[in-house]
Amino acid sequence: MPILETIGLEKRFGGITANHDVNLAVEKGARHALIGPNGAGKTTLINMLTGVLKPTAGRIMLEGRDITDVVPHERVRLGMARTFQINQLFLDLTPLESIGLVVSERLGHGSDWWRIVGTKKAITDEIVEVVERFRLTDVMHERTATLPYGKQRLLEIALAFTCRPRVLLLDEPAAGVPEAERHELLATIEALPAEVTVLLIEHDMDLVFSFADRISVLVNGALFVDGAPEEVARDPRVKAVYLGEELDA
């Protein structure tokens, strides 16, 4: 049984259909990439998966459970987390505080109002572990707004990772990251634990083909092709619609 599945998922904005009859199946432990031209509906799909947008039709199943009507923060508790294409960070908080916040919430201590932050060993231990894993140790006390873009992107992923999701949705993680900082980012993504299922939206074909074990192609809001990387790369239709354009550009 796929860990994440959509059945006939559809999203219409007035006269515009952003997603049409999307039947996506992500297997447990997969490294699944979602690619497609700009405006194909990838981010809309992610927004529906995470509950930010309500689908016009269709259902979403997480580990066999229908989550179509579950609110976003509940989905996190059910094991799904995401990153954003444009960084959505807590600019006035430090990475330490941001990560600490996620750990605290996950362990059920988010609404403790009588206790000072930093007094639970389990939480501080985990904060340190995550900060080191995501190479943020040297900037962990700086205000997020002052961090270089590459570090911010790492923090973006760190926040989602700290939710300890079973399914992690990465929305164009390499977007806008300068060449010098890419290596760190890509290495971190490669190092994600095998038990975590990853659904990756990306335009960077090098990353997609080195990382993914399954690729789905979204064109004009509908699933076009779905299969192993070699199949997708060989498929003439895909080349014409998407990869062909890439090669020309």
Partner 1 sequence: MSTKNATAKSLATPAANVSAYLKSRARWSPFEIAFWVFAFATIWLFPGKYLILKDTAILALFALSLDLILGYAGIISLGQAAFFGFAGYFAGLVAKYGIVNEPVIALMLSGLVASALGFATSFLVLRGSDLTRLMVTLGVSLMLGEVANRYSDITGGADGLQGVDIQPLFGRFRFDLYGHNGYVYCLSVLFVCFVIVRRIVYSPFGLSLRSVKGNPLRASAIGIPVKWRLVAIYTISAGIAGIAGALLTQTTAFCSLDVFSLERSADLLLVLIIGGTGYLYGGLIGAVIYKFLQDWIANLTPQYWQFWIGLVLVVIVLIGRDRMQNWIAAARGAIAGFGAWLVMRTVALSGAAPDRH
The CA distance from 27 to 249, in Å, is 33
Instruction: Tokens for 205, please give them.
Output: 């074909």
User: Which candidate, 166, 199, 219, places its Cα nearest to that of 46?
Assistant: 199
- Residue closer to partner 1 by CB (options 24, 160) is 160
The least CB distance from residue 159 to partner 1, in Å, is: 6
The least CB distance from residue 28 to partner 1, in Å, is: 21
The least CB distance from residue 158 to partner 1, in Å, is: 11
The CA distance from 33 to 166, in Å, is 16
- Residue closer to partner 1 by CB (options 59, 120) is 120
- Residue closer to partner 1 by CB (options 125, 245) is 125
Say if CB 168 and CB 198 are below 8 A apart: yes
- Residue closer to partner 1 by CB (options 30, 96) is 96
Stated length of the chain:
249
> Which secondary-structure segment (H or E) carries 20?
strand 16-22
- Alpha-carbon separation of residue 170 from 111, 167, 249 (angstroms): 28, 10, 25
User: Which candidate, 176, 172, 161, places its Cα nearest to that of 38?
Assistant: 172
Return residues touching partner 1 (CB under 8 A).
Answer: 50, 52, 71-73, 76-77, 81-82, 84, 88-93, 96-98, 100-102, 104-106, 109-119, 121, 124-125, 127-128, 132, 137-138, 140-142, 159-160, 162-163
The least CB distance from residue 171 to partner 1, in Å, is: 11
The CA distance from 90 to 73, in Å, is 17
Say if CB 212 and CB 181 are below 8 A apart: no
The least CB distance from residue 148 to partner 1, in Å, is: 15
The CA distance from 209 to 246, in Å, is 14
User: DSSP string of 188-222?
Assistant: HHHTS-TTSEEEEE-S-HHHHHHH-SEEEEEETTE
- Residue closer to partner 1 by CB (options 7, 78) is 78
- Residue closer to partner 1 by CB (options 32, 106) is 106
The least CB distance from residue 239 to partner 1, in Å, is: 35
The CA distance from 96 to 90, in Å, is 11
- Residue closer to partner 1 by CB (options 43, 50) is 50
The least CB distance from residue 105 to partner 1, in Å, is: 5
